[in-house]
Amino acid sequence: MRRRLFAPLALAFSVALGATGCTLNAEIATMKDYDPSDGVGTEIGELALRNIMLITNDAGEGNLVMTVVNSGGNDVSLNVQYTDDGSQVNKTIDVPSEPALLRVGDDPGAAVLFSGSDVIPGGLAPIYFQYAENPGELVLVPVLDGTLPEYELLVP
């Protein structure tokens, strides 16, 4: 009598364990950080740089496009550094505390333009971001062109 009761329970336990054991040590993909767009992102102190990319033209100029979120209460100056033919180039972007969100690159009058051998569509341009006493971050920024309709108005 005990065997008849024990056998189905053991079988049910074995089937349940076998069916769920495959995910016992599986990596959960939704727990990974990723950039859900064509650009990349990073955080430096109280600044969050999102969707960073360079949009280039045929002349080898690149327009820096990104969104900067300032979660601090102070205005800051974001230093942007890159190398152009062996020379270090420094640019500054003033990031206000209000509004806390700054879009860079969609205003042609205030564009941050890059040039040099790293501004090649399909490549990655190393750009260093830093502000105040916070340690900076070297970011490999994707370089795109105006082929896609959403980027054609951002071409320098």
β pairing state of 61-70 and 47-56: antiparallel
Mind listing the pLDDT tens digit for each residue in 17-58? 666 666 666 677 777 776 777 899 999 999 999 999 999 988
Q: Respond yes or no on whether the N-terminal peptide bond of residue 99 is cis (omega within 30° of 0).
A: yes
Looking at domain 37-154, does it have CATH number 3.20.20.140?
Answer: no
Q: Please tell me the pTM assigned to this model.
A: 0.77
* Cα–Cα dist 120/94, whole Å: 27
Mind listing the pLDDT tens digit for each residue in 80-137? 998 887 788 899 999 998 888 899 998 877 788 888 777 889 999 999 999 989 999 9
Query: What are the sequence ranges of the domains in the chain?
Result: 37-154
